[in-house]
Amino acid sequence: MGLECTFAVDDVDATAQSVRDAGGTILMERFTIAGVGHLIFFADPAGNPIGAMQYDDQAG
């Protein structure tokens, strides 16, 4: 078991594109959690998994 680190971001789609541009890999495409927001998981170039969450209480 390891540490799961998730950051709040303003725009999860822009974050995903930045990850790709920097040589990272998307591990889980955008996933919507109703009433919470949008989440992705990615790996940095060293393979470390990281989450990015765009909070949106209107997400559905």
Tokens matching residue 33:
């959690």
Closest CA to 12 of 57, 56, 52: 52
Closest CA to 23 of 2, 3, 48, 5: 48
Which sequence spans correspond to the domains of the chain? 6-55
- 13-55 pLDDT per residue, tens: 999 999 999 989 999 999 999 999 999 999 988 888 999 999 9
Give the strand order in the sheet containing 6-8.
Answer: 6-8, 49-55, 37-43, 25-33
pLDDT at residue 1 in the model: 56
pLDDT at residue 14 in the model: 98
Helix/strand/coil for 7: strand
**For residue 42, how many other CB atoms are within 10 A of its CB?**
21
Domain 6-55 listed as CATH 3.20.20.70 = no
